[in-house]
Chain A
Amino acid sequence: MRNVVVFVAILLAAHLAMLALGPGDAGASGEGVRVGVVFDVGGRGDKSFNDGAWQGADQARRDLGARVRFIEPGEGTDREAGLRLLAAEGMDLVVGVGFIFTDDLLQLAAEYPDTRFAGVDFAVPTDSLGRPRPLPPNLVALKFREEEGSFLVGALAALAGGSRTVGFVGGMESPLIRKFEAGYAAGVKHVCPSCEVLSAYAGVTPAAFRNPGKGKELALSQYGRGARVIYHASGSTGLGVFEAARAVRGLAIGVDADQYPEAPGFVLTSMVKGIDAAVFDAIRRVRDGTFAGGVRQFGLAERGVGFVDDANNRALIPDPVRRRLAALRDSIIAGRIVVPST
C-alpha cells in the first residue's frame, strides 16, 4: 500500500519538475495572416488531397508569412469542433478540406460572420429546382474543373498511346468521378473520333476508392481488349491499375497528384489538381483584402488543373503531341472548346 503511494508521489514530483521545463512561450507572435486548416478524416500523409492543402498552406507560411494551424479530426463531431475552435481563436481564414465539410462550413459561416471560410471541393447546396443556392459572403467554395484536365490527358492517351482503344477506371460511381470520365472521353474523341473508350467503375460505395485488387482486375481486362493507356480516377484503387500496367508493360495515367513514383516508366502522365494553388490563392486573397465569398472554379486558365510533363515522362510525349496539347489547352481557355462535365 505504502509502495503505491510512494510510487505515485515520485511520479507526481517528476511531473511537477517537468512542468518547469521547455520553452516559455509557445504562441508564435508576429504579423501575418492567421490561417486554420481542418483536414479530412484521412488526415496528413494521403499523398493527394490533404497533403495538397498542407502544401498550399505551407507555401503561404513561407512566402506570405502566414501563421498556420492544422487540426486533424477523428470522428464526425470533430469536424465542426475543429472549425469552431479555429474560428473562436479569431483566425482570419478557416479552411475545411473535403466535400464532407459542406454542412459544417455553412453553419459556422453563419455563426461567425467576421471570420472567412473556405471549403475545398465544397458541394454547393441546391434548391428544389436544382439551382445553386447563394453562399454567405464570408464563405468561398474552391471547386475544380476536373473535366478540363481530363480532356487533355484523354487527347494525350489517344495521340501517344499507339492504339485506337483507350481505357478509364473510376472509383465510386458518382457525379464527381463521371466528370473525370466525361472530360477524358471528350478529349479522346476530339483528336480521334473513331477511337473507343473502355470505361469501368470499381463499385458504388466509398470502398470503391480503396480496392486495388478490383482496380488491377478491371485494368487487366481493358489492356486485354486492346487498350494501351488507362486513366484512373479511383483513389488507392488506382494502385492496382499501375500494377496491371507494369504486368502487361502498358501505360497508366495518374490522378490528383504526380503519381509517377507508383510505377516509374509506366506512367504516361498524371492529371494534377492544384489544391495547393487554390488554398494558397485563398490565403493570398485574405492577406490582400480581395477575399470574396461565392464559388471559385479552378480550371486550366487558373492553373487549377493540368497534367505532368517533366523530366520523368518527357520521353513518352513526342514533341508534335506536346504542341497539339498546348493548342488544345489554349482553345479551352479561350472558350473555343467547351468540355462537357457529364
Chain B
Amino acid sequence: MSRPPGPRWAEALLPPLVALAIALVVGDLLILTFGQSPRIVWGVLLEGTWGNAYGMGQVLYKATTLTCTGLAVAVALRAGLFNIAAESQLAAGGFGAAMAGLALPAGAPAILAVPFCLGAAMTAGAIVGAVPGGLKAKAGANEVIVTICLNFLVLALLNWAVAEHLHVPDSLHTATIRAGGLPRLADVHAAFRGSAANATVLVAVAAIVATWWGLFRTPGGYALRAVGLSPAAAEYGGVSLGRTWFRALVWSGALAGLGGVNYVLGYKRYYEEGFGFGAGFLGIAVALVGRNHPVGVGIAALLFATLSQGGLAVNALVPKQMMDVLQAVVILAVVASVPEVRRLVAQAVPRRP
C-alpha cells in the first residue's frame, strides 16, 4: 500500500521551507537591530555567494566538506547511532590523505595516486569510526560518550604529530604532498579563479549516490535501517545488532574522512592543524536538516555553505555571529516543524484504509 505522492513530497519539503521563512524573518529583525537595511544585507549575501562564479565556487567548496560529514552523521543516525566524532574523523581523513600523498614518489601517475590518497583518507576516518563501533558491538559502550572522548584524543594526537614532528618551520602545516593532488575548478573554467572549489565536489556527489544506493538498495542497508527503526524487531528478524552497529560506524567514519580530501588534496595540498574547524559538528546539523536522506543532506549542505560564505561577505555590515544564530534558527525550526507538519499533512490527506 503506497501513500499518495503529493503529501509525501510536502512532508519532506515543507519543514525546510518553513525553517527558511522563519530564518528570513529572524534575520530581518537582527539586521534591523544592527541598524542596517535587510534589503542591502541580503543583497550582499546573495551577490557574495551565488552572484558570481567565485562565490559559487566557495559555496561548493564548503558544501563538499559538509556533505561528507553530513552523510557520515546521517548513516549512523539511520542505524540509530549518534556519531559525534565526525570532527575528528574529518581531521584524521585529511591527515591520512596528506601522509599518503607525502609517501608517494613525486610524479606518480594520478590514476594511481588519487585513488590511493582517497583510500587512505577513508581508511583513516574508518579506523576512528571502528573504535566506537567495536566498543558498542563488543562491550555495549554508549557511542555518544565514546565519540565525544575520541574527538579530544584524536585531535590532540594529530596536533602533537604535526606540531612536534611533521610541520614546516614557523607554520602549523605539513610539507606539500608529492602526488595525489586534485584539479581545481579554476583549472577547468577560468571564471572560478581563486576559489577553493575542486574535483572533490564530484567525489561528494558520488558519495551521495553511493550512500543512497547502499542505504536503500542493498541488503546491508536494509538491515542497517531496520536496526535503526527497531533493534529488537531487527534482531528477531535475524540481523546481528553488533555487526550492523560496527559496520554503520565504520562506514560513517569513512565518509567523514573523505571530507578531509577537500582541503588536503583539493585546496592547500598539505595537512594543516585545525583545517576543518567545526565542519564535523556542523555535519550533525546538516544531517538533521537534510532529514537523514542523502539528497537532503546535499541540499542542506548547500544551504549551510551559503550561510557560511555569505557570513563572510556581509561581515562588514553585521557581526559573523548573526550567521551562527540563523544556522541555529534553521535547525530548531526544522526539528520543531517535522512532527507538526507530519500531523497536518496526515489531516489534510487522509490515508486510504
Could you list which residues of chain A lie within 8 angstroms of chain B, going by C-beta atoms?
1-4, 7-8, 11-12, 14-15, 18-26, 41, 43, 69-78, 80-82, 84-85, 88, 99-100, 102-103, 111, 123, 126, 172, 175, 204-207
Contact = CB atoms under 8 A, between A and B. Distances in A.
A75 B275 contact: yes
Contacts of B315: 69-72, 82
Given A18-B28, A206-B273, 15 more contacts: A2-B348, A7-B18, A11-B21, A12-B24, A14-B25, A19-B28, A43-B320, A75-B277, A76-B268, A76-B272, A77-B62, A100-B171, A172-B163, A206-B163, A206-B172
B309 interface: yes
Contacts of A19: 28, 38-39, 42
B21 A22 contact: no
B209 interface: no
Nearest to A123: B170
A244 B353 CA distance: 75
Contact of A23 (B37, B163, B273, B345): B37
Interface of B: 10, 14, 17-18, 21-22, 24-25, 28-29, 31-32, 35-42, 48, 54, 58, 61-62, 156, 159-160, 163-164, 169-173, 194, 196, 263, 267-268, 272-279, 308-309, 311-313, 315-317, 319-320, 341, 344-345, 347-349
Contact of A81 (B37, B40, B312): B312
Contacts of A14: 25, 28
Contacts of B21: 7-8, 11-12, 15
A76 B48 contact: no
Nearest to A86: B316
Nearest to B162: A205
Given A1-B348, A74-B277, A22 B40 contact: yes
B312 A76 contact: no
Contacts of B156: 205, 207
B192 to A, nearest CB: 12
Contact of A11 (B22, B37, B54, B349): B22
Contacts of A126: 169
A71 B272 contact: no
Contacts of B267: 77
A25 B320 CA distance: 21
Given A23-B37, A76-B274, A77-B267, A4 B316 contact: no
Where chain B touches its partner, the secondary structure class is helix
A102 B38 contact: no
Contacts of B277: 41, 74-76
| Residue in B54, B267, B320, B347 whose Cβ sees the most chain A Cβ within 10 Å | B320
B164 A24 contact: no
A20 to B, nearest CB: 7
A325 B314 CA distance: 48
A74 B344 contact: no
A43 B18 CA distance: 33
A22 B320 contact: no
Contacts of A11: 21-22, 24-25
6 contacts: A12-B21, A22-B32, A22-B40, A84-B54, A99-B170, A205-B159
Contacts of A41: 274, 277
B316 A71 contact: yes
A75 to B, nearest CB: 4
A4 B312 contact: no
Contacts of B38: 15, 18-19, 21-22
Contacts of A205: 156, 159-160, 163-164
Contacts of A175: 169-170
Contact of A3 (B17, B278, B308, B344): B344
B164 A26 contact: no
B316 A70 contact: yes
Given A204-B163, A205-B164, A74 B308 contact: yes
B131 to A, nearest CB: 22
Given A123-B170, A205-B163, A24 B320 contact: no
Nearest 9 A-B pairs (CB), nearest first? A22-B37, A1-B348, A123-B170, A18-B28, A11-B21, A76-B275, A69-B316, A75-B277, A19-B39
Contacts of A15: 21, 24-25, 28, 38
Contacts of A43: 320
A342 B349 CA distance: 77
Given A77-B196, A100-B172, A1 B58 contact: no
A161 B35 CA distance: 52
Contact of B171 (A18, A22, A73, A99): A99
A85 B48 contact: yes
Contacts of A3: 344
A204 B159 CA distance: 10
Contact of A75 (B31, B278, B348): B278
